[in-house]
A and B are shown apart, each in its own frame.
Chain A
Amino acid sequence: MKTKAVLLALFTLMLLKSQWVKAQQQRYTVSGYVKDDQSGETLIGISIGKTGTTIGTLSNEYGFYSLTLPAGEHELQYSYMGYSVHKMTIKLTGNKTIDVKMKRSDSQLNEVVITGKEQQKNINTINTSVAKLDIAELKKLPTLMGEADVLRAIQTLPGVTTVGEGASGFNVRGGNSDENLILMDEAPVYNSTHLMGFFSVFNPDAVKNINLYKGSFPAEYGGRTASVLDIRMKDGNNQKLQVNGGISNVFTRLSVEAPIQKDKSSFIIAGRRSYIDVLMKPFLKGDMKDTKIYFYDLTAKANFKFDKNNTLFVSGYFGRDVFGFGKEANINWGNTTTSIRWNHVFNSKLFMNLTTYYSKYDYSLKFTSDDEQDKQGFSWKSNIINYGVKPSFTWYLNSNNTLHFGVQGIYYTFKPGTGIGTEGDSKTSSIVIDNKHALESAVYLDHELKLLGDKIGLQYGLRVSGFNYMGEGTAYYYNDTTPGVRKRLVSEQHFGAGESIKNYMFLEPRFSAKFKINNTSAVKASYSRTAQYMHQLSNTASATPLDVWTPSSNNIKPQVANQFALGYFYNSPNGSFEASGEAFYKMMDNQLDYIDNASLELNKLIEADLLASTGRAYGIELYAKKEVGKTTGWVSYTLSRSERKTPGISGGDWFLNRYDRPHNLNVVLSQELNKRSTLSANFVYASGAPSTFADARLEFQDWDIPYNTTDKRNNYRLPDFHRLDLSYTLQGKPRKRWKGEWVFSLYNVYARKNTYSVYFRQNEDDATKKEAIRLSIIGTIIPGITYNFKF
C-alpha cells in the first residue's frame, strides 16, 4: 500500500508541474496518423520531432502520434529506418491534425543523414529489455526448409533460448516457456508452433511488427512473468490490390490485400498450408493411404476508418495441425483467435483503443478400431477459451508527459479433458474432468515523463491485478505430506456458477529510468514485478500440444517474478550502429514442478501431483547491431544462469533448469552482393542443456531400469549446441508489377548432430546391451528453396 501512496503523490506532483508549464505559454497539439505511402499501412514507432531539438515523440501501435508545441512556426521531421525522412514546416495557431505518408527509401544503402533526434533509438526510449524485430530483417534470416519464421528469429536476440531444436516455445531470461505471453493482435495465443515446434504459427506475410518485452514491462502488460511477445498483423493495403505468395519445401503461402474503399478501409487474407502429405501420398500403401499430416493457418483482417477519429479493426486467425494414422488415429489441434478493436481519438491529446477478443486453443484425439464387427473407439478432447476486453487510454499531456491507463478483464473457461470410450454402437462410457472457470482483471496507470530536455526519462506505473478462481466447479483440498509424494485428498467441495473458490490480488509496480550521458550513450535501469495466474502442465523435455493449461487455484499459487535490470546503450552518431549491454537479476516464486511419475492427463486430482518451486535467474546480455550499409546484421551474446529449488526434488537443493544455457551466442550477418542478390548467415552457439543421466540400472522383471543414484536432477550437460545456416536471395529481374525472388537456404551447413536429449534403453537387437542414446532432431544439412512473389 505504501508504494501505492508514494506513487500517487509523485504522480500528482508531476501533473501539477505539467499544468504549471502549460500556463506559461500558449501551446497547441499536432496529432495524426503516420502511414506508408504505397500500402497505406500505419507505421509503428515512427520518430516525430522538431528539427534541431530534442522535442519529439513516437507513433503508437496504431500509427497515431500527438505532439504538443508552443504556438508558432516549427519544422517537423518524421523519420524511420528504411524510409526517407519526411520534413514539413507548420504554423501552429491552434490544434492541428496532420496525417503523414512516408516513402520507403529505395535502398537501405544510402546512409541517411538525420539532423533531428531519432526517438525510437534505444538511447532515447526509456525501457530496458525490449527487443524489436522488423519484418524485413526477419525475412533476411536463413530459414529452415525455406520458411521465414518469427519464433526462430526472436531466438537470435539476447536473453532468448530454447530447450532444443524443434522444441515448442522459447525461454526468456531463465523463465519457462509457459511464462511468455504471446499476443497476436492483442489476443493471447496458447500454442505458438506447428508440427510441435518446427514452425511458428504466424504467417510472415501477414506480420507487421514484433516487439519482445523481456523484463521491464510497461504497466499495460501483465499475466506472464518472463516476457510479452507482441505481434501486430498488417492492416492490408488500402491503396491498391497486392498479392504476395511463396512456395517453399514445406509451405505454400498466399496473401491478398486490397482497399475496400481507398484510404479508408482495407483487408488482408493470408493463408498457408503444408503439403508434405500431398507429396507423400503416392508412396503410401493400403490403409496408410489415409495418413494425414498437414498444418495450415489462415489470417484475415479488415479495417474501416469511419472518420478521422474512429477506426475499427477486425482480425481473425485460425490454424490447425492434423495428424492421421491410417483410419485408426486422428489427432488435431490449433488456435482460433478473433479480436475487434476500436481506435477512438477523443481529442488531439487523448487516444483510446478498445480491444475485445476471443481466443481458443483446443485439441482432439480419436482412436477407432478398423474392425467392422468389432467397432471400438476412444476419443479425447480438451480446450481453453478466453474472452477478453481491454480499453486502454493514452493521454499526451504535453511533449514531456504521457499517461497510459486502462482496465483489463479476461474470462477463462478450461476444459481439461473429456474422454469417451465406445464399443459397438450402443456402449459408451466417459470420463469428464470438470470444467474450470476464472476471471482475471487488472487496472493500470503508467506515467512517462522527460526531464531536463531529454536527459532523463522516467516511466513508472502500477498494475493491480486480481484473479478469481470460481465455479461452476469442484475444489479439492489436500493434506500436506512429505514433499515429492502425491498429496492425499481430504475433501472436495462443489461450487455453483460464479461462486468464488479462491481470490488473489497483486500489486505490480513497474519502474524504468533512463539517463542520457551524451548524444550517443545512455544508462537505463528498471524494476518490475509481475504475477501469472495461468500454468501449463508439462513434464516432458519440451511442452507438447497436449499439455493442458490450468488456472491458479486454492492449491496452485500464482507465479510471481521480481526483476531488476541495468543497461548501457550506445548509438553511433550517424545512427548506423548500435550496441548495448544489460544485466538482469530475476527472482521467481511458485513455478510449478511435478512429483516423480506425475499423472498429468485426464486426472481430476492433478493438483495433488504438483510442487511449487522457487527460481532465480541472472545474467548479462550483450548486443551489437549494424543497420545501414552493404553489410548488416547483429551479434548477441548472453551469459546467464537459471535454476530452481523444489522441496522434494534433487534433495531440496538448487538445481539447473533444463533451459539453463550459460553461454549463448548468435551472429546474424547479411551481405548485399549487388543490387539483386544478398547472402545471409546465421551462427548459433549455446552451452548444452542440463540433463539427468543414469549412473546405474536396476534389473527387474526382465527390464533394465535406468537409475540415478545421486538423486540430483540435471546433474550433467548435453554436448554444446552449435549450427551455421546460410541463405542466398536472388531478386528476379524487375518487371512492371511482378516482383519475384528466389531464396536458397542451407540449414545446419556443416551437418552437426546436435543433441536434443539423451535417454537410456536396451539395445533393440540385443537386450543384454544397454545404451545411452542421443537424439538429434536435425542430424544433417537441410536445404531449402523458396520462390516468393508479389504483384
Chain B
Amino acid sequence: MTAKHMKKILSQLLLASTVMLTACETKFDLDIAQGKTIPVVDAWITSAPGVQQVRITETTAYTGTAPANVISNANVTLFDLTSGDSYPFAFANNVYSYDPGSTNSIGVIGHVYRLRVVLNGQTFEATDTIKRVPVIDSLTVEFKEAEFGDEEGYYAKFHARDPEGANNDYYWIRSYRNTLTTRIRDNFAINGAYNEDVSDGIKFIPPISEGITRGDKPFLKGDKVIVRIASCTKRSHEFLDHVDTQVNNGGLFAKVLENVGTNLVNVSGGDLKILGWFGTSGTSFAEIEIHE
C-alpha cells in the first residue's frame, strides 16, 4: 500500500466522519490567463487485435467544454524494433490509425516499439516495450447495501494473479461499464500490490481487485462489467501514476499541481515542444453481465 492510497482512504474517512457535517466541496470560478497551446500526443499501443489508434490534439482551456482541437497534419509511424516491421498510421475521423485486420495484433509481448511523429517539420520519437500480462481468471459481483458513503448496488471483483519472477511487473487496470468507451475506474499495481520488490506472484490484493466499481455509482442489474489489465514498463507506469495523482487530486492531502512529463523527444533538435506519452501494453480482458 503506498501512502498515496492510504492518504486517500484516510482523507475520505476523515471527511466522511468527523467533519462530515462541515467539510464541503464547491465549484471554484477560475479567473486566470489563457494558457499556451501545445500539441499533445495520446499514443497507447496494445497487444489487442484490430485497429490501433494515436490521437494528436492541442492543449485547451481547463474548464472549456469543447473537445480539444485535433491536429491533422502530423505524420505518424510505429516501428517494431524487435521484428523490424513498421506501421504507417493514416489520419481519418480525427485519429491516426493502423488496421492489421480484426484478428491480427501489431503489439507483441516482449517486442520493443518506437513511435515517430513528424509535426511542422520536426520529428519526435519515443520508445516503449510490451511486457507480459496475466490472464483474468474470473469476475465476480456481489450486491451490497448502501453504507458509509457507498451507494446500494453491485460491486465487482476480478480474480487474477501476478506471474512470479522476472523482477517487477507493472500494471494499469481499467474498468468499464457496458462498452470500452465508458471508463469507470483506474488502478495502478506493481506485482500483486503497490510496491516494488514485494507481493510477487500473489493474487491482486483487495483494494486493487475490488477497485473496479465506483462507490457513488455501483453497477446495476443489466450492466456489463469489463475489466482490462494492461502491462506497462516502469517508466510508463510512473507516468500513469503521475496522471492518476493529478486527475484524482483532492481532499486534505491534495498534492500540489505538478505537470505530467512526456517521453517524446524532439530528435530534430528544434525548439518545438510537445506533450503526451507513447506507451505500450500487453492487455487481457474479462467481462461479466449482471443478472439476478
Contact = CB atoms under 8 A, between A and B. Distances in A.
Interface of A: 166, 195-198, 250, 276, 280, 284-286, 288, 291, 293, 323, 325, 328-329, 331, 365, 367, 369-371, 374, 376-378, 380, 419-421, 423, 427, 429-431, 539-542, 544-547, 596-597, 599-602, 658, 691-711, 713, 716, 753, 755-762, 764, 768-780, 782
Given A429-B202, A431-B196, A696-B62, A707 B247 contact: no
A114 B147 CA distance: 65
Cβ-closest 10 pairs across A and B? A695-B35, A696-B35, A779-B24, A774-B28, A709-B35, A421-B199, A597-B242, A431-B198, A709-B36, A696-B59
Nearest to A367: B1
B259 A708 contact: yes
Contacts of A778: 19, 22-23
Nearest to A423: B202
B22 A782 contact: yes
B251 A775 contact: yes
B73 interface: no
B32 interface: yes
Contact of A702 (B23, B37, B183, B200): B183
A696 B60 contact: yes
Interface string B1-40: 1111011011001100111011111111110111111101
Contacts of B261: 596-597
B84 to A, nearest CB: 28
Nearest to B7: A544
Contacts, number: 279
A442 B134 CA distance: 56
A773 B26 contact: yes
B14 A596 contact: no
Contact of A772 (B27, B37, B145, B259): B27
B10 A700 contact: no
Contact of A698 (B21, B250, B256, B260): B260
Given A596-B242, A693-B257, A699 B252 contact: no
Interface stretch (B63-71, B102-110, B121-129): B63-71
A473 to B, nearest CB: 18
B254 interface: yes
A707 B260 CA distance: 8
A335 B64 CA distance: 47
Interface stretch (B75-83, B111-119, B203-211, B218-226): B203-211
Nearest to A377: B205
B260 A419 contact: no
Interface of B: 1-4, 6-7, 9-10, 13-14, 17-19, 21-30, 32-38, 40, 42, 44, 55, 57, 59-65, 67-68, 145, 147-148, 183, 192-200, 202-203, 205-207, 216, 238, 241-243, 245-261, 275-277
Given A331-B6, A703-B247, A773-B25, 10 more contacts: A429-B199, A542-B252, A544-B7, A544-B253, A695-B32, A698-B59, A700-B276, A706-B246, A775-B251, A777-B252
A389 B14 CA distance: 38
28 contacts: A195-B14, A197-B252, A285-B145, A288-B147, A323-B10, A328-B206, A367-B1, A374-B203, A378-B199, A421-B198, A429-B199, A430-B198, A541-B253, A544-B253, A545-B10, A596-B258, A692-B256, A696-B59, A696-B60, A700-B276, A705-B260, A762-B247, A772-B29, A773-B28, A774-B27, A778-B22, A779-B24, A779-B26
A760 B64 CA distance: 12
B32 A367 contact: no
Contact of A777 (B19, B195, B205): B19
B35 A707 contact: yes
Contact of A286 (B7, B63, B145, B257): B145
A597 B148 contact: no
A658, A705, A760, A770: residue with the most chain B Cβ atoms closer than 10 Å: A705
A695 B33 contact: yes
Contacts of B60: 696-697, 699
Contacts of A698: 40, 59, 260, 275-276
Contacts of B242: 596-597
B257 A694 contact: yes
A539 B3 contact: no
Given A541-B253, A542-B253, A775-B25, A293 B207 contact: no
Given A419-B195, A700-B42, A597 B245 contact: yes
A753 B24 contact: yes
Given A692-B256, A700-B42, A775-B23, A770 B63 contact: yes
Contacts of B253: 540-542, 544
A265 B212 CA distance: 62
A702 B244 CA distance: 12
A539 B13 contact: no
Contacts of B57: 699
B61 A773 contact: no
A462 B4 CA distance: 43
A646 B183 CA distance: 38
A776 B254 CA distance: 12
Nearest to B194: A378
A539 B256 contact: yes
B213 to A, nearest CB: 15
Given A427-B202, A694-B257, A699-B68, A779 B22 contact: yes
Contacts of A419: 1, 195, 198
A198 B252 CA distance: 11
Contacts of B202: 376, 421, 423, 427, 429
